[in-house]
Amino acid sequence: MDTTINPPLTKAPRMSSKPAAAPFQPLLLPELPGRARRNAAALPTGFFYQRDLISAEEEAALIAEIAKLPLKNFQFHGYEGNRRVFSFGYRYDYTRRAVEPADAVPEFLEPVREQVAAFAGREAGEFRQILASEYAHGAAIGWHRDKPEFGIVAGVSLAAPAVLRLRRRVGDRWERVSQLVEPRSAYILSGEARHDWEHSIVEQAVLRYSLTFRMLANQHRDGA
């Protein structure tokens, strides 16, 4: 990774156009199994969480637009995931193992991209990919690290909460922590959280949408 272009965030960013953000407060979940709870001392360096990044009205408008998209089941090396997705800006083709251009980012996503960028202390245009995901009842996302072609990653949750799990290998055990990601909240994966830890979303009990904003690891790839 070119860290001059995509450096890890080192401090909790602040939003500029909203009232002062509530202090960063990891929500360690009481229902975690004992082993995970013991390991859940702190969230990884480079992970940031912000409640109420967007308003309820903004959330409702985003859900209405996302529900209209031609969402398709997630395709992964010939397997079909049970969440449905649509990519803007760029998409990752798992067959070709490459980042490919996708539809232009639509107007309706610009305000939330601005809010995410303000939270991350970056420019909106740096978040070149936006992935809209729909998790119907029973949908989940397994353990993974985002592809190395992407840089800093941010997620906005809509409609329902979810449990975002994080883990990393430490010797012969897994260090684990979980964060409840509430509707209208945002999280950032940068630095260690992005590159050393895997993350997953626990199977959903109720319909949830998310928007995943990704920088490219090499922002110069298309002349920017």
Interface ranges with ligand AKG (CB under 6 A): 131, 133, 141, 146, 155, 199, 201, 210, 212
The minimum distance between CB 156 and ligand AKG, in angstroms, equals 8
Closest approach of ligand AKG to the CB of residue 64, in Å: 19
User: Which helix (H) or strand (E) segment is 160 a member of?
Assistant: none
Report the residue number whose CB is nearest to ligand AKG.
210
Residue 36 or 164 having the CB closest to ligand AKG: 164
Q: Which two tokens stand for residue 12?
A: 């909790």
CB of 200 to ligand AKG, least distance (A): 7
Nearer to ligand AKG, 6 or 210 (CB): 210
In the complex, minimum distance from the CB of residue 223 to ligand AKG, in angstroms, rounded to a whole number: 26
Q: Are 89 and 211 in contact (CB under 8 A)?
A: no
Closest to ligand AKG by CB, 167 or 199:
199
Looking at the Cβ atoms of 35 and 144, the one nearer to ligand AKG is: 144
Task: Identify the bridge partners of residue 84 per DSSP, sorted by sequence position.
Answer: 73, 134
User: What per-residue string of b and e applies to 121-140 under the rule 16 or more CB within 10 Å gives b?
Assistant: bbebebbbbbbbbbbeeebe
Q: In the chain, which residue ranges form alpha helices assigned H by DSSP?
A: 34-39, 56-68, 110-120, 191-195
The residue among 114 and 198 lying less far from ligand AKG, judged by its C-beta, is 198
Shortest reach from residue 171's CB to ligand AKG, in Å: 26
Cα gap 197→224, rounded to integer Å: 29
Q: What is the largest CA-CA distance in the chain?
A: 49
Distance (Å, rounded) from C-alpha 96 to C-alpha 183?
34
